[in-house]
């Protein structure tokens, strides 16, 4: 999949781009089922809310076939290679859960702020590309983005280790207020299978989910190979140190896996 000129222009100007229903219901169904099985497992890669509900599951592409195929899918790899102009490797892979009723907040932050401070990533030549596994609605804790905030570079941040179960480099209220006054807030919503790309320095966060509707999103953090991390401080399953360029699987690979999974279940 390749981006057209208008899509590239929006990403470069606004810092984000949403591609609705890039994956089929058949493909999403197997990913959603496997995500629930992963959340139920007792693995160190799975972080939980203070309530015990799943918050995020790291590195599923290293031990689950459906997510391995997603992590090398040309509909995700192609657009980012197009934007960066070079091969990519997987810096991080996670399945974020915003559980029904108990999904907690993600504070306002920039992803590159963490990648630079905790992992020694030289430049913001990495980005998150997100795949919706549930319908993301205005009411169930959608990701909120501040358009054009990436143009401010890497902002000063504090290390919040107490608000939630996951430590994060967060921005203060005054900074967020100023950025919102300039760019506003958008919250992309859509059906399962939608794909969201956003710049590593785009400021974003999400509110708690107090609805009965869960919100699972897979995030691939794709980094330009030349921009590989230099001083990792986090576990290998959080910040990968295998800088091998990703080789895309055939476009039909995930769909074929989904059909085989469905046949086996019948």
Over the stretch 95-105, which tens digit does the pLDDT of each residue have? Answer: 999 889 988 88
In total, how many domains does the chain have?
1
> How confident is the model at residue 70, as a pLDDT?
98
**Four-point Cα dihedral 115, 121, 124, 125, nearest 10:** -120
pLDDT reading at 196 higher than 70: yes
> How confident is the model at residue 262, as a pLDDT?
79
What mean pLDDT comes out for the span 166-179?
Answer: 89
Q: What is the CATH number of the domain that holds 101?
A: 2.60.120.620
State the CB neighbour count (10 A cutoff) for residue 144: 17
Counting residues of the chain whose pLDDT is more than 70, the rounded percentage is 97
Collapsing DSSP states into helix, strand and coil, what is residue 86? Answer: coil
How many whole angstroms from its chain centre is CA 164?
Answer: 18
State the CB neighbour count (10 A cutoff) for residue 240: 25
pLDDT tens readout for residues 24-55: 999 999 999 999 999 999 999 998 888 888 88
Range of the structural domain that residue 193 is part of: 5-265
Collapsing DSSP states into helix, strand and coil, what is residue 182? Answer: helix
**Mean pLDDT value across the chain:** 94
């Amino acid at each position: 999949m390749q981006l057209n000129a208008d899509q590239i222009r929006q990403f470069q100007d606004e810092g984000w781009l949403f591609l609705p229903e890039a994956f089929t219901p058949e493909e999403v169904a197997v990913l959603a089922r496997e995500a629930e099985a992963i959340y139920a497992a007792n693995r160190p890669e799975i972080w939980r809310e203070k309530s015990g509900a799943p918050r995020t599951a790291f590195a599923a592409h290293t031990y689950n076939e459906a997510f391995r195929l997603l992590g090398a899918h040309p509909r995700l790899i192609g657009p980012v290679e197009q934007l960066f102009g070079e091969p990519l490797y997987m810096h991080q892979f996670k399945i974020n859960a915003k559980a029904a009723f108990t999904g907690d907040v993600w504070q306002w932050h920039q992803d590159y702020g963490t990648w630079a401070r905790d992992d020694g990533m030289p430049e913001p030549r990495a980005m998150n590309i997100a795949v919706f596994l549930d319908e993301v609605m205005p009411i169930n804790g959608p990701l909120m983005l501040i358009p054009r905030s990436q143009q401010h570079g890497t902002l000063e941040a504090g290390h919040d280790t107490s608000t939630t179960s996951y430590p994060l480099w967060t921005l203060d209220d005054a900074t967020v207020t100023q950025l919102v006054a300039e760019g506003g807030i958008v919250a992309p919503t859509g059906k399962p299978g939608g794909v969201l790309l956003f710049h590593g320095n785009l400021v974003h966060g999400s509110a708690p989910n107090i609805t009965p509707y869960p919100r699972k999103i897979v995030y691939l953090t794709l980094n330009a190979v030349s921009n590989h991390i230099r001083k990792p401080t986090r576990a290998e399953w959080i910040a990968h140190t295998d800088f091998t360029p990703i080789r895309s699987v055939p476009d039909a690979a995930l769909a074929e896996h989904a059909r085989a999974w469905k046949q086996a279940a019948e």
